[in-house]
Structure 1
Amino acid sequence: MVSSIDKALARVEKKQSHKLRNTLLVLGGVGGAAAVAAKTRVHEKLPVGTGTAARTIDVSNDVDVPVSVAYNQWTQFEDFPLFMEGVEHVQQLDDTRLHWVANVGGKKAEWNAKILEQHPDRQITWVSEDGKKTRGTVTFEPLAENKTRVRLSMSYQAQGPVEQLGSAAGLDSRRVRGDLERFKELIESRGTESGAWRGEVEAGQKK
């Protein structure tokens, strides 16, 4: 017999698949993919309480390509729909701003994100401009000549008990992890990047 807790979590998951998606897609939320034999690490931190809670997600995935290939592919932001669930379109407005279009619970959602830091083969940091101030950083660590650890860290505000319960159930981290697994599958199947942007950004300004 399904417990009342299981039923409650099922209801929360259904709601969260709609409400959290708009927040997490700025990832990099970042389509089912085939199972990927990846080394994935997930760390989550959720303060206990009600109201607005700070939420952090830290997910890493080891991809079997050189660090420059992994980094270069990630800079092809308009390719994000190939591996980010729910993302329909990403347009690079200029060197530091992106416009996102996504399907969130059957409804169209749009927002902008700004790149704050971008350093080739090392790091990209961004923040959403939709009022929620979702912040994310993706880093690239060379493990060997043809192996790179891609680590995605995000922070946002979980608002209200529904979003907090969904976060505690791990619904958001599973979505982020799935996007990284699809990125791994994409870049390893290609073996090379589709393009590259090697510019530097500091404090939101191109150098």
Structure 2
Amino acid sequence: MSVVAINMNTINHLSKTCKIPNLQSPICFDRKPFSYSLIPLFPKTLNGFSSYSSSVSRRSRFIIPKRRRFSVSMEWQDCSVKMEVDVPVSVAYNFYLDRESFPKWMPFISSVEVLKDKPDLSRWSLKYNAFGQDIKYSWLARNLQPTPNQKIHWRSLEGLPNKGSVRFFPKGPSSCIVELTVSYEVPAVLTPVASVLRPFLESLLRGGLERFAALAKTT
């Protein structure tokens, strides 16, 4: 450590120009090595002089990024089947409106319950054995505004994500074409698997429409 001495004439001059009280003895200043580690990152100013908060500087030295939530990208997969039904379009339309009769002709639907206080809502249960596994799902669906004798469509509100529509095209006075489309949501990474399963699902829907056509003729 070295010491630098300042004579009285310098002190008096500084006291007049910088308003430093007149001192009667020399002032000694210690010259210490400069250290960057002593300087905080965010100084605070107090009464014209710089003062520092060690707690702020310690916290500001380490910036920890927030964790991002992992989100799975989802995609809709469509299955469509079309079939001629030997009943007038109005008969087919009204028969399909009876949601609680679905278990009679759709093989994988085990039950449908229409809510009494909200008839546009219905609870669905799916139960099916495929590839040696029992598959069970349930969901709440809302029937959207239909187009009489032309279109019925729906969308799930909770449970298994799905949506779909059935369209009716008159072919003559006593027959019509029924086109059923069911869409379900799967993770994008499973899209190749869903594509492989599409023929199997389409065969289930086609089997359901065959039973639908047979029962519609008995109404």
TM over 0.5: yes
Does residue 69 (structure 1) correspond to residue 97 (structure 2)? The answer is no
Shift of 1:131: 5.2
Question: One-letter code of the match for 2:75?
Answer: A
TM-score when normalising by structure 1:
0.60
Between 1:59-68 and 1:117-126, the stretch displaced more is 117-126
Output one character per residue of 1:141-167: Cα deviation in whole Å (capped at 9) or x when no partner.
111000111111222223265563243
**Structure 2 counterpart of 1:141, from 169, 187, 191:** 169
2:206 maps to 1:177 = yes
C-alpha change, 1:78 and 1:132, in structure 2 (3 Å) is closer
2:119 is the counterpart of 1:95: yes
Letter in 2 for 1:152: L
Matches within 5 A, 1:1-207: 52-93=74-115, 94-105=118-129, 106=134, 108-130=136-158, 133-159=161-187, 164-169=192-197, 170-188=199-217, 190=218, 192=219
| Cα distance in 1, alignment partners of residues 135 and 167 from structure 2 | 31
Instruction: Give the CA deviation at 1:124.
Output: 0.7
1:133, distance to aligned residue in structure 2 (A): 3.6
Question: What SS is found at the alignment partner of 1:69?
Answer: helix
Deviations along 1:83-113, one digit per CA (max 9) or x if unpaired, are 1112221111133111112324436533211
Task: For structure 1, list consecutive stretches of 5 or more residues without a partner in the other structure.
Answer: 1-50, 193-207
Deviations 1:166-197 (A, max 9, x none): 43342222222221122112213x1x2xxxxx
C-alpha spacing 1:171/1:107, structure 2 compared with 1 (3 Å): closer
Alignment CA distance shift 1:168-1:107 (3 Å):
closer
Mapped to 2, the partners of 1:113 and 1:53 lie a distance apart of: 19
Task: Name the larger-Rg structure.
Answer: 2
How many correspondences in the alignment?
141
What value does the CA root-mean-square deviation take over the aligned residues?
Answer: 2.3
**Larger RCO: 1 or 2 (CA < 8 Å, sep 6+):** 1
Q: TM-score, normalised by structure 2?
A: 0.57
Deviation, structure 1 residue 140: 0.9
Give ranges in structure 2 of 5+ residues lacking alignment. Answer: 1-72
Amino acid at match of 1:115: N
> What is the aligned-residue identity percentage?
31
Q: Give distance in 2, aligned partners of 1:114 and 1:77.
A: 11
Matches of 1:150 and 1:115, distance apart in 2: 18
